Amino acid sequence: MHEAMELKVLNTAGVETGEVVTLRDDIFGAEISEHAMYLDVKSILANRRQGTHKSKTRGEVRGGGRKPLRQKGTGNARQGSSRSPLHIGGGTIFGPVPHAYDQKVNKKVKLLARRSALTSKAQAGKILVIEDFRFEQIKTKPFAEILKNLGLSQRKTLMLMPEYDMIVTRSGRNIAVLDIMTADKASTYDILHSHTLLVQKTALKKIEETLG
């Protein structure tokens, strides 16, 4: 077992509040499984694919109803349709057809993968804990100021909240480097795809409830 990690809580000005939180060792100090993270991320990306690709076969392309050449006497091979895959304008042989790319991953593997992702961020020092904050109205500027105060203006940041807040979410949606989601919804891919995890203090409890 590793020694439990402690992080100082910051305020929106980027200053330490004097409060310290302890990250649970079974979630943020777990044994990292690269394979579990690979399987989970692969399934997440595969499940995002629409699978709507389609090309037309010789039976679906337009035209080709009349036999283009007489059967015999031309010296050429027999041709029954000008829409044969061998002709320009013909159909496609073994082309793509719509199908699902869904891949299923065992729940225990997904759990292990998310714990591994959080542990890797914790070990790299890429987790910041900030006191809970709210906005009175939808405004991007104060949110951008918070990121600047934390030194995250140019960093791909994933902020985790305990629950959905429409005003905060819409205030941050125009900031290119920022993603916002509730702590229980953050996937392995979301965590690994960010440079820094910005976690509201009460969101840690949500993470523990989800992954503990």
What whole-number distance in Å separates Cα of residue 192 and Cα of residue 61? 45
Angle at 27 between CA 205 and CA 197, to 5 degrees: 70
**Which pLDDT does position 212 carry in this prediction?**
80
| 63 in the same domain as 156 | no
- pLDDT over 50 at 187, yes or no: yes
Angle between helices 203-211 and 107-123 (to 10 degrees): 140
Q: What is the mean pLDDT of residues 173-195?
A: 94
The mean pLDDT value of the chain amounts to 92
Report the percentage of the chain scoring pLDDT > 90.
Answer: 86
Lowest-pLDDT range of 2-6, 85-89, 168-172: 2-6
Domain that holds residue 27: 5-49+102-211
**Which pLDDT does position 66 carry in this prediction?**
86
pLDDT classification of 204: cutoffs 50, 70, 90: very high
pLDDT classification of 1: cutoffs 50, 70, 90: very low
| 130 in the same domain as 66 | no
| 96 in the same domain as 36 | no
Q: What is the mean pLDDT of residues 203-207?
A: 93
Torsions phi, psi of 180, nearest 5?
Answer: -130, 135
Which three-class secondary structure state does DSSP give residue 182?
Answer: strand
Q: What CATH number should be reported for the domain holding residue 194?
A: 3.40.1370.10
Q: What is the mean pLDDT of residues 97-118?
A: 94
| 40 in the same domain as 18 | yes
Segment 157-177, tens digit of pLDDT? 999 999 999 999 999 999 999
What whole-number distance in Å separates Cα of residue 161 and Cα of residue 166? 11
| 39 in the same domain as 91 | no
Segment 29-63, tens digit of pLDDT? 999 999 999 999 999 999 999 999 999 999 899 98
| 191 in the same domain as 107 | yes
| 185 in the same domain as 83 | no
Q: What is the mean pLDDT of residues 131-159?
A: 93
**Which pLDDT does position 191 carry in this prediction?**
96
**Which pLDDT does position 192 carry in this prediction?**
95
**Which pLDDT does position 103 carry in this prediction?**
92
Residue position matching structure tokens 């200053």: 15
**Which pLDDT does position 3 carry in this prediction?**
61
| 130 in the same domain as 77 | no
- pLDDT over 60 at 2, yes or no: no
| 83 in the same domain as 20 | no
| Number of domains present in the structure of the chain | 2
Q: What's the chain's length in residues? A: 212
| 122 in the same domain as 69 | no
